[in-house]
Amino acid sequence: MKFNLNNTKIPFMSARIGAFIFSVFLVVISFGLFFYSGLNFGIDFKGGTLIEIETEEQVDLGEIRTALSSLSLGDVQVQEFGSSNNILIRVEQQLGGDSVQQNAVEVVKTSLNESLHTTVNYRRTEVVGPKVSGELIKSGVIAIVVAVFAMLIYIWFRFEWQFSLGAVLALIHDVILTIGVFCFTQLEFNLPIIAAILAIVGYSMNDTVVVYDRVRENLRKHRSKPIDDLLNLSINETLSRTIITSITTLLALVSLYIFGGSVIKGFTFAMIWGVIVGTYSSIFVAAPLLKYLDVKREWSTTSAVDSTK
Amino acid sequence: MLYFSRTKILLIFLAIFFALLFAFPNIFSESHLKNFPSFLPKQKVNLGLDLQGGSHLLLEVDTNEIIKERIENLSFDLRRLLKKNDIGLSNLKIDNESIIFFSSQVTSSLVKEIEDLSISNSQSIMQISGRTNLIVQNNNNEFIISFNEEFIKQSVTSAVNQSLEIVRRRIDELGTREPSIQKQGSSRIIIQLPGLDEPERIKSLLGKTAKLTFQLVDQTASYDPNYPKKVPIGSEILESDQNPKVKYVVKKRIMVGGENLVDAQPGFDTQTNEPIVTFRFDRIGAKKFGKVTQGNIGKPFAIVLDNKVITAPVIRDAILGGSGQISGGFNAEEANDLAILLRAGALPAPLIILEERSVGPDLGADSISAGKYAAIIGFIAVIIFMIVIYRFFGFFADIALIINLIMVLGILSLLQATLTLPGIAGIILTIGMAVDANVLIFERIKEEIRNGSSMISSVENGYKRALSTILDANITTLIAATILFFMASGPVRGFSITLTIGIFTSVFTAFTFTRFLISLYVRKLKPSNVGLPDEV
């Protein structure tokens, strides 16, 4: 390894316009995808039935499709899951409210037991009715909004409002891009993805705070330095930490993605994406934004928020 | 920052010792643990249903049904009262939880009498005596009668509590292992059934209200498929439990109800050897049953469960002993389940399954092994990376990482918090993020050295300067984890638990254990340089 992350003097601030354009472009694309193709909601948010089966002998997916399509359950999706003997069956939410959702499970299980000439092991059955799915969407959205708002307040208390605004803008950027990538890949968006987004919010903020902490420290140290140079210096000084922590986190997450099994894949994908985006946004969005937010230059070295005490 | 008092060192090692103590039962099997001396902790990590297999059901008591039923009962009383006062009933109707009728002859004293109806109607559930539960509105002789808010609330509460009790009894009867049955919110019940991967039987048991009634068959009429709604007043058409095409015309009047049962047992008919359910009435039930059978010898008597006729045998003799049997062409399991339902009692209102999440034991075991595998590989990758980047200091951070994981496991076991698949993901994320505190510190130390400080003071200042950054940075993650904890339920909640524990343990180990190791290294070995490579 020959590259040097210490004493770097990369002119991040001169790249800021390019980075802003890039970010705005991605945000716009994300919005476009959200309204054009939308999220592929899983049963947590859309309601419906999900059944994962494992068959002793390999079965033709077409055979299952034919068997299930005659049941008039509406949209039924059949796909392989992880290995060729594992099959995931999704049945859309049945009309008629919460009380009729269970019928779908019964009908599908009976039909599978009759039509497949091999032992079927039911690995997972999930049924979410309209009431619960509606509540889950609501609480998911609330959780993300509350988390972002809590960050805004926390950074405001610990720093000042300019920092808090910059950090939260970067955070919203990360959340939008994460939702955007799920619109783009059409990966299933379910409850664990909300958890991943919250973890991304925490992680991205963590990264941003480290850079901001250094900015504040340098604001005290170098009172007459032009803001561009000061921000550049701060980003460069924290660069090795930012990269190393991102790498260790990614090492753990990639291991989870490859070896952690199919159930958790979507969650891990979101986290990996979030760590990359969060790292990018701390360097290229959150820090350069401070230039435009007119940060206070007259920090007293003995103030209550002194970070060097 | 480099000096540790003896007490501090003792405390650090005591904390690590306890973490080890609480974590270690996890590597033994249950049978080994039994043989351990009693003073040792024996609790293992509590696995969530997604890892050990099991069923999660979220039920809701159909509260609309309760109010509907009460309104219906009230309408019977009201009809009787109005009839007594010679008021026409033709325009009386039930509309959306209220009763509406038109009349110009309702006096204020009659209004008072109507209000009193509610008191006799609902004594069993209302503790407040002598106060009406009704709202009687009069819009130009259009009378709208409905229950007041308080009554509805109390009816729902009592029905939900009663349902909870009956659900518990039904599940206990099946003898599943360690079920958890809890009320959630005002009208919901959460059931967790570990180890039960196909809850079909429980679901079908919970799906039945199990309202048992004995009603006489109306022999004056017969079911005509061309006029499926044509029935004599006071009778109703009910379908057969076994074949929905078979219909019975049954008198509405309930002669005896399931609430008078004291026992029900599955058995076999001594003559036909067919599975049956035998039942026994209480004193009142026996008296009613005796009277009906005595007076209706030779007539068919319908046994109705949840508005479906199980069987309608002809009464041969008066049955005065208060016990009888139901034979409805069941198999042994059906007879057994019916007996369970009758013993446990009828639900006050139907239960609706809002959500089901069942995981088979295979998938749970697969998830555990995949999670372990991913954790080990991620762990090794991080350990190697840290040594490559930070050499000796990286090694210290790695030891801290191991201790960190043991502490997470120990705290999980101690708190008996539930470990789920997302929880394992939280631990793996912690592996990646736990080294962050050390990375921040080491980077600071490197900077101090570059600025020309001596080694000891570089390490000293590195720790000092990194502290507030580490706290700020970890508090943000902690905020996100806390919000997740409160907003989420089920497996996802497990993620917030392990993440939170991981944040605390990583900050703790960075500032106590790793710092202690490094201070020993720097002070005792007095290395000429810290061994932190500048080239990365």
* B256-271 pLDDT, tens digit each: 888 888 888 888 888 8
Comparing A207-211, B296-300, B430-434, the range with the smallest average pLDDT is: B430-434
pLDDT exceeds 50 at position B16: yes
pLDDT at site A52: 92
Alpha-carbon gap: A30 to the closest alpha carbon of chain B (Å): 23
pLDDT at site A25: 96
Burial of A70 (0-12, 13-18, 19+ CB in 10 A): exposed
Domain ranges of chain B: 6-51+362-525, 64-154, 212-329
* B354-371 pLDDT, tens digit each: 999 999 888 889 999 999
Distance between CA B465 and CA B441 in Å, rounded?
8
CB contact under 8 Å between B483 and A6, yes or no, is no
CB of A85 within 8 Å of any CB in chain B?
no
CB of A92 within 8 Å of any CB in chain B?
no
pLDDT exceeds 90 at position B379: yes
CB contact under 8 Å between B373 and A199, yes or no, is no
Alpha-carbon gap: B427 to the closest alpha carbon of chain A (Å): 10
What's B260's DSSP letter? G
Alpha-carbon gap: A188 to the closest alpha carbon of chain B (Å): 16
Half-sphere exposure of residue B103: CA atoms within 13 angstroms, side-chain side: 23
Distance between CA A190 and CA B473 in Å, rounded?
28
CB of B389 within 8 Å of any CB in chain A?
yes
| Same fold across B6-51+362-525 and B212-329 | no
Q: Which residues have C-beta within 8 Å of that of residue A192, sequence separation ≥ 6? A: A264, A266, A267, B422, B491, B492, B495
pLDDT at site B239: 87
pLDDT exceeds 60 at position B2: yes
Mutate to test the interface with A, among B368, B487, B498 (most CBs of A within 10 A): B487
- Give mean pLDDT, residues B231-250: 84
Q: Which residues of B touch A192 (CB under 8 A)?
A: 422, 491-492, 495
pLDDT at site B377: 95
Q: For all residues of chain B together, what is the average pLDDT?
A: 85
pLDDT at site A1: 38
Tell me the pLDDT band of A2, cut-offs 50, 70 and 90. very low
Range 237-296 of B in CB contact (< 8 A) with A? none
* A54-100 pLDDT, tens digit each: 988 888 888 888 888 888 888 888 988 888 889 999 999 988 888 78
Domain ranges of chain A: 12-41+133-292, 48-128
CB contact under 8 Å between B450 and A244, yes or no, is no
CB of B452 within 8 Å of any CB in chain A?
no
Q: Which residues of B touch A308 (CB under 8 A)?
A: 465, 468
CB contact under 8 Å between A102 and B356, yes or no, is yes
CB contact under 8 Å between B536 and A1, yes or no, is yes
- Nearest-CA neighbor of B117 among B73, B78, B154? B78
pLDDT exceeds 80 at position B73: no
CB of B200 within 8 Å of any CB in chain A?
yes
pLDDT at site B529: 63
CB of A42 within 8 Å of any CB in chain B?
no
Alpha-carbon gap: B436 to the closest alpha carbon of chain A (Å): 6
CB of B317 within 8 Å of any CB in chain A?
no
Alpha carbon A105 to chain centroid, angstroms = 31
Q: For all residues of chain A together, what is the average pLDDT?
A: 88
First-to-final CA distance of chain B: 27
CB contact under 8 Å between B367 and A268, yes or no, is no
pTM of the entire predicted model: 0.84
pLDDT exceeds 80 at position B321: yes
CB contact under 8 Å between B385 and A248, yes or no, is yes
CB of A96 within 8 Å of any CB in chain B?
no
Comparing A12-26, A195-209, B311-325, the range with the smallest average pLDDT is: B311-325
Residue whose entry in the numeric block shows the structure tokens 């993605």: A257
CB of A146 within 8 Å of any CB in chain B?
yes
CB of B223 within 8 Å of any CB in chain A?
no
CB contact under 8 Å between A2 and B377, yes or no, is no
How large a percentage of chain A has pLDDT more than 70?
94
Range 51-80 of A in CB contact (< 8 A) with B? 52, 54
Topology annotation, domain A48-128: Alpha-Beta Plaits (3.30.70)
Q: Is B465 helix (H, G, I), strand (E, B) or coil?
A: helix
CB of A250 within 8 Å of any CB in chain B?
yes
Range 328-357 of B in CB contact (< 8 A) with A? 350, 352-357
Both structure tokens of B7: 């007490």
Range 65-104 of B in CB contact (< 8 A) with A? none
CB of A110 within 8 Å of any CB in chain B?
no
pLDDT at site A256: 93
- Give mean pLDDT, residues A122-151: 92
Tell me the pLDDT band of A268, cut-offs 50, 70 and 90. very high
Of B359, B424, B492, the CB nearest to A124: B359
Contact pairs from chain A to chain B, CB under 8 Å: 256
Tell me the pLDDT band of A4, cut-offs 50, 70 and 90. low
pLDDT at site A71: 84
Mutate to test the interface with A, among B354, B379, B380, B387 (most CBs of A within 10 A): B354
How large a percentage of chain A has pLDDT more than 90?
59
CB of A191 within 8 Å of any CB in chain B?
yes
Q: Which residues of B touch A205 (CB under 8 A)?
A: 473, 476-477, 480
- Give mean pLDDT, residues B27-37: 80
pLDDT at site B28: 82
pLDDT exceeds 50 at position B353: yes
CB contact under 8 Å between B468 and A213, yes or no, is yes
Q: If one looks up domain A12-41+133-292 in CATH, what number appears? A: 1.20.1640.10
Alpha-carbon gap: A273 to the closest alpha carbon of chain B (Å): 14
CB contact under 8 Å between A147 and B480, yes or no, is yes
* B420-479 pLDDT, tens digit each: 999 998 998 888 888 899 999 998 888 888 888 888 888 888 898 888 889 988 998 899
Of B431, B476, B495, the CB nearest to A195: B495
Q: Is B250 helix (H, G, I), strand (E, B) or coil?
A: strand
CB contact under 8 Å between B58 and A154, yes or no, is no
Residue type, B393: F
CB contact under 8 Å between B362 and A106, yes or no, is no
pLDDT at site A126: 92
Q: Is B530 helix (H, G, I), strand (E, B) or coil?
A: coil
pLDDT at site B383: 94
- Give mean pLDDT, residues A24-36: 96
Alpha-carbon gap: B104 to the closest alpha carbon of chain A (Å): 41
Q: Which residues of B touch A129 (CB under 8 A)?
A: 352-355
Query: From the CB of residue B116, how many other CB atoms can be counted at a distance below 10 Å?
Result: 15
Return the CATH class of domain B6-51+362-525. mainly alpha
Of B356, B422, B440, the CB nearest to A127: B356
Q: Between vectors from CA B76 to CA B75 and to CA B79, what angle results, nearest 5°?
A: 80
Distance between CA A134 and CA A155 in Å, rounded?
32
Tell me the pLDDT band of B298, cut-offs 50, 70 and 90. confident
- Give mean pLDDT, residues A266-284: 95
- Give mean pLDDT, residues A189-194: 92
CB of A158 within 8 Å of any CB in chain B?
yes
pLDDT at site B104: 80
Tell me the pLDDT band of A144, cut-offs 50, 70 and 90. very high
* B46-71 pLDDT, tens digit each: 899 889 899 999 999 988 888 887 88
Tell me the pLDDT band of A306, cut-offs 50, 70 and 90. very low
- Nearest-CA neighbor of B264 among B279, B276, B252, B243? B279
Alpha carbon B495 to chain centroid, angstroms = 19
Q: Which residues of A touch B56 (CB under 8 A)?
A: none
Of A109, A131, A249, the CB nearest to B432: A249
CB of A267 within 8 Å of any CB in chain B?
yes
Quick one: closest CA in A to B382, which residue? A248
CB contact under 8 Å between B476 and A7, yes or no, is no
In terms of average pLDDT, the best of A98-102, A159-163, A266-270 is A266-270
Q: If one looks up domain B212-329 in CATH, what number appears? A: 3.30.1360.200
- Nearest-CA neighbor of B65 among B353, B354, B348? B348
CB contact under 8 Å between B536 and A52, yes or no, is no
Residue positions counted in chain A? 309
Q: Which residues have C-beta within 8 Å of that of residue A295, sequence separation ≥ 6? A: A160, A162, A163, A215, A219, A227
Both structure tokens of B381: 């990758």
Q: Are A137 and A45 in contact (CB under 8 A)?
A: yes
Tell me the pLDDT band of B120, cut-offs 50, 70 and 90. low
